[in-house]
Amino acid sequence: MLADLTLVNCYARNGMDPRTRDRILLESAKNNLRNMAFFGIKERMDDSQVMFERLFNLSFNKRLSAWNRSKSNDTDVTPDQLRIIREHNELDIQLYDYALQLFEHRLAIFMNRSAPVDPEAAVHLTPFEFNSLSDHKEVQFIRNNDLQHEHISRKSKNNILNNAEYESDYDDAHTSEENVNIEFERV
């Protein structure tokens, strides 16, 4: 979980307004994501790997994007099921959209190109700046704690999706013999 649950007193029997709680949790998760030195995006595995390798001065012996097969790719979801999933995961979807923006912004900085970001939203994207990009052995982080928080209003969507069916099969990625042999070396 990315959000800090202590901010909403998650174990108390008398809770706060669900909209307020959801807003706090989403902002907490965004803040924690901004403060992570690195995170990757599954759909952008090549870019994620390049950023990881340069940031930590490591090199993998294989491209991680080669392991993109998952049983989730074989799942058919009806439009009604997709609608229900989206309704019950609205906060996660908002966080994922934010993560995509933040990832693209950081990648653009890392690759030394301009980021396609709304200027008003840019102040919310990242407290990190990457310095010494030409010398990838030296990466310095500068934290900016003066970020303003977004104001988010949303309808409460905190019911659990009880009528979904789940299987206990592991994805191929969890059991693949290939994944045991991932190695990296300092460059």
Summarised one tens digit per residue, pLDDT across range 64-95 is 887 766 666 678 899 999 999 999 999 999 99
Segments making up each domain of the chain, as ranges: 5-186
* Cβ atoms of residues 149 and 158 within 8 Å: no
pLDDT of residue 120: 52
Exposure string of 123-162, with b = 16+ CB inside 10 Å and e = fewer, is: ebbbbbebeeeeeeeebeeeeeeeeeeeeeeeeeeeeeee
Give the integer Cα–Cα distance in Å for 179 and 163: 33
Enumerate residue ranges in the chain where pLDDT < 70: 1, 8, 10-14, 68-73, 113-187
DSSP codes of every residue in the chain: --S-GGGGTTT-SSPPPHHHHHHHHHHHHHHHHHT-S----GGGHHHHHHHHHHHHTEEESS-GGG----GGGG----HHHHHHHHHHTHHHHHHHHHHHHHHHHHHHHHTTS-----HHHHHHH-S--B--TTSTT---B-----PPPP-----------TT-----PPPHHHH-SGGGG--EEE-
The model scores a pTM over 0.95: no
pLDDT of residue 133: 38
pLDDT of residue 168: 30
Helix axes 79-88, 90-110, angle to 10 degrees: 80
User: What's the start-to-end Cα distance of the chain, in Å?
Assistant: 32
